[in-house]
Amino acid sequence: MSVQQPDVIDFVARDPNTGDALLVMVEVRDWNSSPIATQQLDTKLAAYSEFILSGALARQFPEAANRPVRIQLDHFCPITEAAGTKLREWAGKLSGIPVSVWSHRMYWNPLLKFLCTIAAKFGGSRPGPVRWLPESNSKLVLLTSAQFAAEFCDALLLAVPDHRVQFVKDLEIKVVDPTGRESGGFLDNAYDHYKSAPEHKADIIQKYVAGLLETRTVVDCQIDTTRIIPVIKDRAWIAGINAGMEARGKEKTLENVHDIYNSELIVMYAEDRPRNIRYLTPSDLGTLNLPLPDLRRLSVENLKRLLPEPEIRNLNGIYQVTAGGDYDASLLLLGSLWRSEKIRVNGEIVAAIPARDCLLVTGSADAGGLAKIARMAQEMFAQAPYRISTKLFVFRNGAFEVFDRRHEEE
């Protein structure tokens, strides 16, 4: 376990002296000999902050719920200026929660450990953890979920001042219009989006306020079948949504229409609207008299028509395929794109979709390309608001399946 694995929480412990909850990450490399180590540190710090902000720390370690939290980097080589800058940046971002950021120099050599111990006995200072403080002009402080929800409610009230807006709990809000009609909403996606780009907080809040208001006005409207599109999700997404609903005390589980794509992915179906998307339910299919087997064909044809022509960019040996951002991952379903000669790779086509707006491609026989998109997928997955998967997928027999590099190399 190390900074190289951004999707892993290395260690969770309790400081026996202070009682603080400790989230420890380890870096054994020389920062100067690993050019990407600093970027990986930034990604790892983002993943640790997400572990705290999402409530995962409190859920998995209830004894840490009401304790001060410290993120600590244990490193074996001196901190570089670039690494120190990242530590200070995150100390500033997390100062409003509050979570403190520390580093601790470790030593492989037993003799150095012994000399440090002797020096401490004779009045010298024994190297210990170092706390990193934010820059004096640091303004980018991450909000807690409750703080974000409060600002969202304020913005919503400005948009509909004749409504009552109530923050329920855990990013759940309730809205009551002047006639007494109630509706609810969850701010999880909005908060995730904000955490990935806190400098755009105001724009993000306004976007989701507009989307929420649109949802309330179209809930009883006829679905436009010409705008039904397929949305790629990982298979754990539904279970995660239902677990969140259960944690909030909701008995009703998710009833959105979907089908299985492969062992890792599912295809959800939704109506694309100007400011948001409306996932289809089984009752919607009944109203539309639309059989599920026909849905994939219809939605893929709509996707081709609604999206701009995919743009294929060469990024030093790998490709990034984009088509507007919102449904880039769903391009996996366009078999005509992958059977064309537009993307030439060494071996079979291998893709990564860490988030809905990110599609990376390389060849199955390109070891360097595989390593690069695997690393980029982990880094983007750790910070993206609409995460999908860190796995790689290979195009075979007209569809993508999970690509197992170890199996392929045997």
pLDDT tens-place string over residues 199-216: 899 999 999 998 888 776
Band the pLDDT of 316: cuts 50, 70, 90. confident
Question: What six digits make up the tokens of 347?
Answer: 């071996």
pLDDT at 84: 93
Q: Is the dihedral of CA 297, 300, 304, 310 positive or negative?
A: negative
Both tokens of 31, joined, read 């920062």
Give the distance from CA 350 to its chain's centroid.
Answer: 21
Six-digit token pair at 61?
A: 């370690």
Q: Could you give the CA distance from residue 152 to residue 158 in angstroms, rounded to a whole number?
A: 10
In this model, does residue 401 exceed pLDDT 70?
Answer: yes
The sign of the dihedral angle between the CA atoms of 376, 381, 386, 387 is positive
Nearest to 143 by CA among 184, 209, 190, 102: 190
Instruction: Provide the sign of the torsion angle of the four alpha carbons 61, 64, 66, 72, taken in this order.
Output: negative
Rounded CA-CA distance 73/52 in Å is 16
Residue 142 CB contacts under 8 Å (≥ 6 apart), including other chains = 49, 53, 93, 94, 96, 97, 195, 198
CB contact at 8 A, 373 and 350: yes
> Three-state DSSP class for 86?
helix
pLDDT of residue 209: 92
Residue 121 has pLDDT above 90, yes or no: no
Distance between CA 95 and CA 389 in Å, rounded?
30
What is d(CA 359, CA 337) in angstroms, rounded to the nearest whole number? 13
List C-alpha distances in Å: 164 to 152, 173, 175. Answer: 13, 10, 6
Positive or negative, the CA dihedral 83, 86, 91, 97 is: negative
CB atoms within 10 A of CB 17: 6
pLDDT in tens, 362-397: 999 999 999 999 989 988 887 787 889 999 999 999
Give the integer Cα–Cα distance in Å for 332 and 266. Answer: 12
CA distances, 296 to each of 9, 284, 306, 316 (Å): 38, 15, 15, 34
Q: Per DSSP, what are the bridge partners of residue 69?
A: 21, 99
Global pTM? 0.73
Over residues 239-282, the pLDDT tens digits come to 776 666 566 565 555 567 889 999 999 999 999 988 788 888 88
What distances in angstroms separate CA 86 from CA 66, 83, 92, 210, one per listed residue?
27, 5, 10, 34
Burial 302-319 (b: 16+ CB within 10 A, else e): bbbebbeebeeeeeeebb
Rg (CA), the chain: 24
Euclidean distance between CA atoms 232 and 252, whole angstroms: 23
Task: Enter the tokens of residue 233.
Answer: 């999700």
More confident residue, 393 or 9: 393
Please say whether the beta carbons of 369 and 377 come within 8 A: no
How sure is the predictor about 285, in pLDDT bands with cuts at 50, 70 and 90? confident
Q: How does pLDDT run across 140-192, given as a tens digit for each residue?
A: 788 888 889 999 999 999 999 999 998 888 788 989 988 888 888 888 889 98
Cα dihedral 75→198→388→156 (10° resolution): 150
Closest to 353 measured CA to CA, from 317, 377, 334? 377
Is the bond into 98 cis (omega within 30 degrees of 0)? Answer: yes
Judging by beta carbons within 10 Å of its beta carbon (0-12, 13-18, 19+), is residue 382 exposed, middle or buried? buried
pLDDT at 317 over 70: yes
